[in-house]
Amino acid sequence: MLIHTIAEVREQIKLWKKEGLTIGLVPTMGALHAGHLSLIKKAVEKCDKVVVSVFVNPIQFCPGEDLDKYPRTLEADQKLCEDAGVNIVFAPSPAEMYGENQMRTNDFLTYVIPPFFYVNKLCGKSRVGHFDGVCTVVNKLFNIVQPDFAFFGQKDAQQLIIIKKMVKDLNIPVEIIPCPIVRESSGLALSSRNKYLSDDDKIQALALSKILNNIKNCYQKGITDVEALKETAYSFLNENHDLEYLEFMDENNLDEVKKANDNTRVFIACKVGGVRLIDNILLKD
Ligand code: AMP
């Protein structure tokens, strides 16, 4: 069932709650691929009813980012969801979510602001305000759908850690279910933004997963010095890569790590053909 309004979702949720059914939420920006589908499958397995939100959230895009050209494929998304057993595809307009005059401004909108310690690093450094937009929309979706479980991909590991922190700090009654990264057989992590890559870009983009896998191999051979592990990346990079960051952080609290251990997650962001790609890997097997 495709629903565009908050009121209609609320009505349906009320009925399900009355029946004592468990509800799962999978928040997405659409252009669904096998990565999203893995979250959806998990949700369908675990919950009585599943809501997938499809919303390109304007307030999480920074000026100059790809808000206008972000792929929008609602019809195909709806079909994929129906085939996967999703009960509601919730696809609101920006005006439905934020009102006519409140888009992309915090002058009139109540925001949920995650802690500075979690956002002044990795993607938050270059995408200023991005996680404010993410936390605000996810909090709104939690209030609209009131899910028992919400499913998020490790692909966006910083986002996942920040959402968990928001849920804990604000006592939101939802359990966050992390889901592993889905990759092409080449190793490239699936992303809606991969649609922007040319065939050649896609080959160059393999550097991200290669760098991460190589670092994990080196760690498992006994190298723990982060500077030494970082050095190993350069042999995979060439003039087609614009490396934004390669960072080693504690998996649980995003503390910077100097000596790698099993709880270390390695994060990479790199532009290829002008497209900003991210990936990450946990060093533990
Ligand atoms: P997005 O539509 O990009 O906002 O992503 C919606 C959800 O799908 C987020 O929780 C992402 O982390 C997750 N996701 C996106 N790509 C992947 C992937 N390749 N593997 C696993 N989860 C993913």
Atom 5 in ligand 1: which residue has the minimum CA distance? 28
Contact predicate 268/181, CB 8 Å: no
* Ligand 1 interacting residues, C-beta cut-off 6 A: 28-29, 35-36, 38-39, 152-153, 155-156, 179, 181-182, 189-192
Mutate to test the pocket of ligand 1, among 25, 29, 32, 39 (most ligand atoms within 8 A of CB): 39
Q: Are strands 49-54 and 23-28 parallel, antiparallel or unpaired?
A: parallel
Tokens of 208: 């991200």
Mutate to test the pocket of ligand 1, among 25, 28, 279 (most ligand atoms within 8 A of CB): 28
Q: What is the pLDDT of residue 106?
A: 63
CA 240 to CA 235: how far, in whole Å?
A: 13
Q: What is the pLDDT of residue 65?
A: 94
Burial label, 265 (beta-carbon count in 10 A; 0-12, 13-18, 19+): buried
pLDDT at 41 over 90: yes
pLDDT tier, 108 (very low <50, low <70, confident <90, very high otherwise): confident
Model confidence over 151-160: pLDDT tens digits?
999 999 999 9
Domain boundaries, the chain: 2-179, 192-280
Q: How far is the CA of 279 from the centre of ligand 1 (A)?
A: 11
> Of 96, 106, 153, 154, nearest to 128 (Cα)?
106
- For the chain, how are helix, strand and coil distributed in percent, rounded to 5? 40, 20, 35
Q: How far is the CA of 20 from the centre of ligand 1 (A)?
A: 29
Protein fold of 192-280: Pantoate--beta-alanine Ligase; Chain: A,domain 2 (3.30.1300)
Q: How far is the CA of 19 from the centre of ligand 1 (A)?
A: 30
Contact predicate 119/162, CB 8 Å: yes
pLDDT tier, 107 (very low <50, low <70, confident <90, very high otherwise): confident
Atom 22 in ligand 1: which residue has the minimum CA distance? 153
Considering just the CA atoms, what is the radius of gyration of the chain in Å? Answer: 19
Atom 7 in ligand 1: which residue has the minimum CA distance? 28
How many Cβ atoms from other residues are within 10 Å of residue 85's Cβ? 13
pLDDT at 104 over 60: no
Residue 180 three-state SS: coil
CA 192 to CA 168: how far, in whole Å?
A: 29
Q: Which CATH architecture has domain 2-179?
A: 3-Layer(aba) Sandwich (3.40)
Q: How far is the CA of 278 from the centre of ligand 1 (A)?
A: 11
Q: How far is the CA of 126 from the centre of ligand 1 (A)?
A: 20
Q: How far is the CA of 65 from the centre of ligand 1 (A)?
A: 18
Tell me which residues are annotated as active site. Answer: 36
Residue 284 three-state SS: coil
What ligand 1 atom has the least distance to the C-alpha of 180? Answer: 21
What ligand 1 atom has the least distance to the C-alpha of 152? Answer: 10
Model confidence over 255-275: pLDDT tens digits?
999 999 999 999 999 999 999
What ligand 1 atom has the least distance to the C-alpha of 155? Answer: 12
Mutate to test the pocket of ligand 1, among 26, 59, 123, 156 (most ligand atoms within 8 A of CB): 156
pLDDT at 102 over 90: no
Percent of the chain beyond pLDDT 90? 96
Contact predicate 268/278, CB 8 Å: yes
